[in-house]
Amino acid sequence: MVFISLLEGFAVGFLLAMPVGPIGILCVRRTLACGKYYGIIIGLSGASADIIYALVAAFSVTLISDFVTGFQHWIRLGSGVLLLILGFYIFRSRAAVQDAPNRFHKHAKTFFSTFFLALTNPMTLFAFTTAFSAVRNVQIISDRMSPPLLVTGVFFGSFLWFFILTNFAFIFKKHLASGGLTMANKISGCLLMCSGVVALWAGVNRF
């Protein structure tokens, strides 16, 4: 049962991280622009944010769940604005093919900014709730170890996907000139701004 819970969480985390969203776009773009370490940090940050929503879904923390559900339109509006600003900034950013210096404060800033952005997507909570209901492994009554192991598996599954994505982007970077990176910045910026528009539209429709 212990191994099954961990494996189920791993599968849920990996599969839910696979759809390319804002965090995946940032992971690829930052790897191309700054190097592999920055992509890994973004992946680690995204997986850490998944832990929060997975914990809420696994332990059915009513207060947090009700807050996210009740204010999801405001959260989406805020997320939309952030994505529009971030997307515009990346769209206008200059190309740089050299790795950025590995400084702790830059890594910390990257981690926490990505973590905050990942938490502004309320659909993550609903996705984990649906997935955990499907695997039918969120009841603490029969086995109190199942939810913690499920959440642990989610983290490692999510991080594995971002790790794979980072390495693919890093391999691609070796064959990318500055002109190609400029185009990658513009594509990433446009995708993030499109995500922002979708989030704003979803938030407005809730009113």
Domain tally for the chain?
A: 1
Q: Which residue, 54, 70, 200, is CA-closest to 119?
A: 54
Q: What does pLDDT average to in each consecutive run of 10 residues of the chain (207 residues)?
A: 77 84 86 87 93 81 59 72 76 58 75 88 77 60 66 92 90 65 71 78 68
| Domain membership of residue 133 as a residue range | 2-205
User: How many Cβ atoms sit within 10 Å of the Cβ of residue 95?
Assistant: 17
What are 73-112's pLDDT values in tens digits? Answer: 776 777 777 778 877 777 776 655 455 555 667 788 889 9
What are 11-31's pLDDT values in tens digits? Answer: 888 988 887 688 888 888 888
- Total count of residues recorded for the chain: 207
Calculate the CA 24 to chain-centre distance: 6
- Residues 126, 129, 130: CA angle, nearest 5 degrees: 85
- Residue 42 corresponds to which amino acid? I
What's the CA gap between 115 and 93, in Å, rounded?
22
